Amino acid sequence: MHRALSLAERGRGRTTPNPMVGAVVVSDEGVVVGRGAHLTAGGSHAEIIALADAGNRARGATLYCTLEPCCHIGRTGPCAPRVVDAGIRRAVIACMDPNPLVAGGGIAHLRAHGVEVTVGVMREEAEALNRPFFTRMRLGRPLVTMKAALSLDGWMAAAPGVRTPLTGAAANRRVHRERAEVDAIAVGSGTILADDPLLTPRGAFRERPLARIVFDSRLRTPVSARLLSTLAAGPVIIMSTPSAAANAPDRVGALVAAGTAVELIAGDSRLHGALERLAAMGINSLVVEGGVALHRALWDADLVDRIELFVAARALGAAGMEWLTTPVFSSSRVTGLTTELLGDDALIEAYVHRPH
């Protein structure tokens, strides 16, 4: 299962909306005769690649798989019947697939056809590998990471609306590496106006488009925003409201003409609605890079799953823009806290909700 998990890692940042999956076929003599990894949505599933790799040696062998084999027809055919047809005698599965189209159906199919099945070997590791996918399947929204940089004296910016670069090269490299892996990043319209960010992964290889989301209830994003010049890197989605669009149809027209998608979400729980809409687009992971108002709104709505806080080695002085007003890290909901030094800066990471 260790080997299957490391095979699954090969799909990191590439398989969305699917999970990362690895599989290994082992003969009765304990020899690995087949290996497979799911590398891209629409591509072959890990079990099928491992079975093909094993060929006839799969007959009577054991299949180790990091996720339950599927039993539904998606972009590729169902895997569980193929496992049976290949003559696998025993299947060891790390965790069940929470996709409602599978959810135990693959395991039931294997058992019904005489395959001996063990479930739960290295379950924690396998679930950790696919937290974003599991969150979307179980909660109907992406896994939300709240990312912020604070000065040594705790400010998020020197003053409201003032662009304040805080972190050094090593921390910035980490940010860009993350941008190369996640499905989407988001900012509030205040950050677009203050920082005019590009929101592209730079200095890190990314295979597929990166969706950038702007939470902009009043359609304040200017068509001259630098973000709108980066559509080659991926779509830009403006999350706004029907009333803003009704008040300023010309602004919607201009933003759409500039190549963005404008999504209109009504109601009091607009943040939930926006996240559900992103999940419906197949987005498993979302990193919210700021600013203050958007972070506070997500925190207050209990929609933050992970925190990533960079504490910079420089102080800003007496006055600045405060981050959250609640002491986040002393909240009883925060678990799994880790710290790491990146150049002169420190990175503190933690989970807020128990991982799904």
Ligand X SMILES: NC(=O)c1ccc[n+]([C@@H]2O[C@H](COP(=O)([O-])OP(=O)(O)OC[C@H]3O[C@@H](n4cnc5c(N)ncnc54)[C@H](OP(=O)(O)O)[C@@H]3O)[C@@H](O)[C@H]2O)c1
Residues that bind ligand X (CB under 6 A): 148-149, 156-157, 160-164, 166, 187-191, 194-195, 215-218, 220, 270-271, 289-294, 297, 321
Sequence-ordered list of residues with C-beta below 8 angstroms from that of 302, at least 6 positions apart, any chain: none
Measured from the CB atom, the residue of 129 and 321 that comes closer to ligand X is 321
Measured from the CB atom, the residue of 68 and 308 that comes closer to ligand X is 308
Query: Closest distance between ligand X and the C-beta of residue 166, in Å?
Result: 6
The one catalytic residue among 47, 68, 127, 289: 47
Query: Closest distance between ligand X and the C-beta of residue 4, in Å?
Result: 37
Query: Closest distance between ligand X and the C-beta of residue 259, in Å?
Result: 20
Q: Enter the DSSP assignment of 354.
A: P
Q: Enter the DSSP assignment of 18.
A: S
d(CA 220, CA 189): 7
What are 140's two structure tokens?
């109907």
Distances (CA, A) of 224 to 86, 198, 214, 258: 57, 12, 14, 9
Query: Closest distance between ligand X and the C-beta of residue 188, in Å?
Result: 2
Distances (CA, A) of 340 to 113, 287, 308, 310, 345: 49, 19, 11, 10, 9
The strand pair at 116-119 and 90-93 is best described as parallel
Measured from the CB atom, the residue of 58 and 146 that comes closer to ligand X is 146
Q: Are 12 and 20 in contact (CB under 8 A)?
A: yes
What are 36's two structure tokens?
């497979």
- The answer to whether 47 is a known catalytic residue is yes
Q: Are 5 and 129 in contact (CB under 8 A)?
A: yes
Query: Closest distance between ligand X and the C-beta of residue 3, in Å?
Result: 39
Measured from the CB atom, the residue of 134 and 215 that comes closer to ligand X is 215
The SS3 call for residue 321 is: strand
Q: Are 5 and 94 in contact (CB under 8 A)?
A: yes
Q: Determine which helix (DSSP H) or strand (DSSP E) holds 185, and give its type and residue range.
A: strand 184-188
The SS3 call for residue 214 is: strand
Measured from the CB atom, the residue of 22 and 190 that comes closer to ligand X is 190
Query: Closest distance between ligand X and the C-beta of residue 300, in Å?
Result: 9
d(CA 244, CA 165): 31
Angle at 120 between CA 52 and CA 350, to 5 degrees: 110
Measured from the CB atom, the residue of 19 and 291 that comes closer to ligand X is 291
Give catalytic residue positions.
47
